[in-house]
Amino acid sequence: MNQTPDLEQLLTDPVVATLARAEETAWFTASPTETAAGIEQSGIDPAIVTDAQARFLRFAPWFAEHFPDTRATHGILESALVGIPDMQAELSSRFGKELPGTLWVKRDDSLPVSGSIKARGGIHEVLQVAERIAVEAGLMGPDDDARVLMTPAVQDVLSKHGIAVGSTGNLGLSIGIVASELGFKTTVHMSMDARVWKKDLLRSRGVEVVEHAGNFSDAVEAGRKTAEEDHSVWFVDDEASLMLFAGYSVAGARLAGQLKALDITVDANHPLIVHLPCGVGGGPGGVTFGLKLAFGDAVHCVFAEPTHSPCMSLGVRTGLHDAISVNDIGLDGITAADGLAVGRPSRLVGEHLQQLIDGYVTVTDERMKAFQGLLHDTEGIDIEPSAAAGFAGPWRILGDETYRAAFGLDETRMANATHIVWATGGSMVPAAEMAGYVAEGQRLVNEVVWG
Q: Model's pTM, two decimal places?
A: 0.96
pLDDT value of residue 3: 65
Q: What three-state secondary structure class fits 407? A: coil
Is residue 271 within 8 A of residue 419, CB to CB? The reply is no
Report CA dihedral (289, 290, 295, 299) to the nearest 10 degrees: -50
C-alpha triplet 264, 265, 269: angle, nearest 5°? 140
In this model, does residue 249 exceed pLDDT 50? Answer: yes
In this model, does residue 35 exceed pLDDT 90? Answer: yes
Confidence of residue 206 (pLDDT cuts 50, 70, 90): very high
If phi > 0 it is left, if psi is from -120 to 50 it is alpha, else beta; for residue 420 that is beta
Going from the C-alpha of 279 to that of each of 31, 42, 138, 282, the distances in angstroms are: 24, 20, 39, 8
Q: Considering only CA atoms, give the Rg of the chain.
A: 21
In this model, does residue 1 exceed pLDDT 50? Answer: no
Task: Give pLDDT tens digits for 86-111.
Answer: 999 999 999 999 999 999 999 999 99
- Work out the percent of the chain whose per-residue pLDDT is above 90: 88
Task: Give pLDDT tens digits for 313-338.
Answer: 999 999 999 999 999 999 999 999 98
Q: Which residues contact 59 (CB under 8 A, 6 or more apart)?
A: 75, 127, 146
In this model, does residue 159 exceed pLDDT 70? Answer: yes
Is residue 321 within 8 A of residue 290, CB to CB? The reply is no
In this model, does residue 34 exceed pLDDT 80? Answer: yes
262 vs 339, which has greater pLDDT?
A: 262
In this model, does residue 214 exceed pLDDT 50? Answer: yes
DSSP assignment of 408-433, as one string?
Answer: T--HHHHHT-EEEEEE-B-TTS-HHH
Is residue 182 within 8 A of residue 134, CB to CB? The reply is no
Average pLDDT, the chain: 95
In one-letter notation, the amino acid at residue 274 is V
In this model, does residue 226 exceed pLDDT 90? Answer: no
In this model, does residue 305 exceed pLDDT 80? Answer: yes
Which domains are present in the chain? 7-114+248-444 (3.40.50.1100), 118-244 (3.40.50.1100)
Element of type H or E holding 274: strand 272-277
DSSP assignment of 118-138, as one string?
Answer: HHHHHHHHHHHHHHHHHHHTT
In one-letter notation, the amino acid at residue 446 is N
Give the HSE-up count for residue 314: Cα atoms under 13 Å, Cβ half-sphere. 36
Least confident residue range of 9-18, 32-41, 216-225, 377-386: 216-225
- Find the mean pLDDT for residues 378-393: 97
pLDDT value of residue 2: 54
Is the sign of the CA dihedral 214, 215, 217, 219 positive or negative? positive
Task: Give pLDDT tens digits for 192-201.
Answer: 777 899 999 9
pLDDT value of residue 225: 84
Distance CA 365, CA 308 (A): 9
